[in-house]
Structure 1
Amino acid sequence: MDHNRDFDPRYGEAVALSDGIRRITAPNSGAFTFHGTNTYLIGIDPIIVVDPGPDLDSHIETILRATSGAEIAAIAVTHTHVDHSPAARRLKDLSHAPVIGCGPHRAARDLKLGEINPMDASADRDYQPDVLMGDGDRFDAGGLTLEAIATPGHTQNHLSFALLGTPYLLSGDHVMAWSTSIVAPPDGNMRAYLSSLDKLMGRPEHHFLPGHGAAIADARPYMADLRAHRLRRETAIMEQLATGAKTIPELVELIYLDLPDGLKGAAALSVFAQLEDLVDRGRVAASPELLLNARYQLA
């Protein structure tokens, strides 16, 4: 599928996207963060800071400079990965604003005996919100209303935030223009990810502000493409398993043609998520059990 990788991060600046909406991109570029994590400043005074990002001095200084003279009413967090939430603690200490949004980090399921969580190092386990927001909960500040939308899939605690009465929705890492979202068990869950896509497609908001990369002006057809992409991957897995039992590395080599070695680990986690869903639905069997190093065959 087509992605939009045309993005200028303009580090150290608060880039105006609309009246009362600015974006600051943290200088933490990488294979999984693109040009860096997007922090959003919602409102003029007071301001809601959404996804404060990594605990980097330069990034926090940019946030403080951009909000100077205004009240920070809240620091909202979509999910607890180390590129999104750690700066909340220092920003709270400096601004005295409450941290609101998602709950503490948790996996979508328990680890199996002998299983190692491949995403463990990416989790911010020190995060604690002052105000836990669930699906449909709202936060009001200066005439603006932020509504939390539970969107598990990338992580179990993932929230998106709708700016009610506007076309804007802050989609975190669930929907991004530059790439598909990583869904990696046991932290992530493919069935939840697809259900969350369906939920967002039913929302009135259509202009998405993602955790990385450029905004998505018309999100509904793009989300339909994201969903179709996952279903095509599922079909490819089933077609390969129809020729015999295979391991996840074998499936990656057969399905992700010409993929650079540095991205094969992420592809393996994506295949694992698809297989977990297929096993849960009774279409695929794992031997000896559902693990990254198992062999898989049609049920």
Structure 2
Amino acid sequence: MPPPFDPADLPTGLLMPLSPLVARVLAPNPSPFTYTGTQTYVVGGDAVAIIDPGPNETAHLTALAAAIAGRPVVAILCTHTHRDHSPAARPLSILTGAPVIGCAPLTLDDDGPRADAAFDADYRPDRVLGDGDQVTGPGWTLEAVATPGHTSNHLCFALLEEKALFTGDHVMGWSTSVISPPDGDMTAYMGSMQRLLERDDALYYPAHGEPIENPQRLVRGMMGHRKQREGQILRFLERNGESAIPDMVADMYRGVDPRLYSAAGRSVLAHLIDLDGRGLVAPVGDERWRMC
């Protein structure tokens, strides 16, 4: 039997060609939430765009400079502002002279427990892209596709010449995306997934995990998984009556790495908020929930 797979064993800092227009560089930040690490994509040939520049780490910035190899950088694009995606944008902009373009900055106003620890508060784009806006270079066109849900400011980027979609954290190649309120929104996420299902992209390039072939099949599966989780929550409340989220997580996530329980609890909360909006469940004091 082969030894257990360890994401930390994958090589980082190397430029890996994936198609005539796409290559990637893996950042040295593997974790239970990032899998092998954040994949920064280099798009183009004579002049390039950088998608999700990743963490502000010297080794990764050095690797990106080597990957660019002196070519003009048209734009540095960010799918969203989690700290494993956007912090390298500004130092890379200073290095290359390229503008930071993409998602809007995100500042949370939350009177409850802090929920923005994973966000890059220093992100300041030179240009914010709206749905359908394009960035072009020699031989390539990237079009923004608004996909709120994982975060409210999340964008995917469609490479029109190859019918490929850079999906950030909206669709990953190793796991479903964490939806963490108050900014993460299950209703918006499912709407964005339906939008992707109706597109005709031939290939997905996620920020975490390998390229995804037959992406519509994966999207259908992920939507089905969310519906199954919703059903589990409803059945749990039917069986147990008024309940707290940690009890639901312990029941529904058996066998899952306990380090992921906190994130699982956030996704369960997102489902409950969605179900509340549809009149199926209701919150009770002390962070408990019941069937309506």
TM-score range, shorter chain: over 0.9
Deviations 1:187-230 (A, max 9, x none): 20001111111111111212000011111011100010000000
Cα distance, 1:134 vs structure 2: 0.6
| Letter matched to residue 267 of structure 2 | S
SS in 2 for 1:162: strand
**Unmatched runs of 5 consecutive residues or more in structure 1:** none
Aligned to 1:274: 271
Q: CA RMSD in A?
A: 1.5
Task: State whether structure 2 residue 37 is matched by structure 1 residue 44.
Answer: no
State which of 266, 281, 298 in structure 1 corresponds to 2:291.
298
| Letter matched to residue 258 of structure 1 | G
Task: State whether structure 2 residue 271 is matched by structure 1 residue 261.
Answer: no
Cα distance, 1:258 vs structure 2: 2.9
| Letter matched to residue 223 of structure 1 | V
Greater relative contact order structure (CA < 8 Å, 6+ sep): 1
1:106 and 1:157 in contact (8 A); partners too: no
Q: State how far apart, in whole Å, the 1-side matches of 2:254 and 2:280 are.
A: 24
Task: State whether structure 2 residue 196 is matched by structure 1 residue 191.
Answer: no
State which of 127, 131, 140 in structure 1 corresponds to 2:127.
131
Structure 1 segments, 4+ long, off by >3 Å, are: 5-9
1:245 and 1:297 in contact (8 A); partners too: yes
State the percentage of identical aligned residues: 44
1:153 and 1:189 in contact (8 A); partners too: yes
Q: TM-score, normalised by structure 1?
A: 0.92
Aligned to 2:244: 247
| Count, aligned residues | 286
Q: State how far apart, in whole Å, the 2-side matches of 1:128 and 1:179 are.
A: 29
Aligned to 2:57: 56
Q: State how far apart, in whole Å, the 1-side matches of 2:104 and 2:264 are.
A: 28
Deviations 1:236-286 (A, max 9, x none): 000011121100011111211233322211111111110010111111010
State which of 106, 114, 117 in structure 1 corresponds to 2:114.
117
CA change 1:165–1:204 in 2 (3 A) is farther
Q: TM-score, normalised by structure 2?
A: 0.94
1:25 and 1:36 in contact (8 A); partners too: yes
**Unmatched runs of 5 consecutive residues or more in structure 2:** none
Aligned to 1:160: 156
Q: State how far apart, in whole Å, the 1-side matches of 2:29 and 2:12 are.
A: 10
Aligned to 2:144: 148
Cα distance, 1:6 vs structure 2: 9.8
